[in-house]
Amino acid sequence: MKRFFYFLFLTFFLIACENPFYDESYESPDDVVSITVTPPLKRLYKYGEPFDRNGLNVKVFRRNGTFYDEKTPVVSGFDSTREGIQTITVSTGGKSYQFDVGVMLFALNPEGPEISISKGGTITLKAESGIIGSWTIYVFKDSAFESVPRLDPKVGSSVAFAAPSSAGTYVVAASFRLRGVTSCRFYLLRVTE
């Protein structure tokens, strides 16, 4: 008879308390419906510089309609000892999001490859011989993308794109495959009034 009352009490307790053993902080990947990601502010790095999470915001949406800000998402794909454009993956709860960053082997200086143009002008880059496949153009300002023109021109052709609409110093990155190896060239872009 004691067992019956104990069982009855435990059953009532579990029902009345809506399962006190359930931990809301635990979630299975099946509980996450989607994530939204705001990439970090810094998108252009110098050789050896650590990844900067400042501005990275990950919002996780659950099946039950709730959401929360993920403070420690897994970030992979960044290697500041490898020059070029890198695809970074942010993941949590079985969902992922990707964005690109650039890593320069050395800081560009005024004596380096430079393009000068008036704002609103047209910038033209010509593919080098030996480039296989398409190449992609990125424009950075203050370590962040500036209206991210990602252009994929055809092999051996020129690519033209509008200069940024505001004066300032930018970095243009041209990512391409040369003799079977993915490579990247960086140019200093000075946009004047």
Q: Is the pTM of this model over 0.95?
A: no
Grouping H, G, I as helix, E, B as strand and the rest as coil, residue 12 is: helix
Could you tell me the residue ranges of all domains in the chain? 28-104, 114-192
Same fold for the pair 28-104 and 114-192: yes
Contact 45, 98 (CB under 8 A): no
Q: Say if domain 28-104 classifies as CATH 2.60.40.3630.
A: yes
Nearest to 149 by CA among 103, 100, 89: 100
Which listed CATH number (1.10.3720.10, 1.25.40.10, 2.60.40.10, 3.40.1010.10) goes with 114-192? 2.60.40.10
One digit per residue, pLDDT tens: the chain, 193 residues?
Answer: 666 555 555 555 555 455 555 444 555 656 899 999 999 988 888 888 999 999 999 999 999 889 999 999 999 999 998 888 889 999 998 999 998 888 887 665 544 578 888 887 888 776 666 555 566 777 877 666 554 445 555 555 566 777 888 888 888 887 766 666 677 778 888 888 8
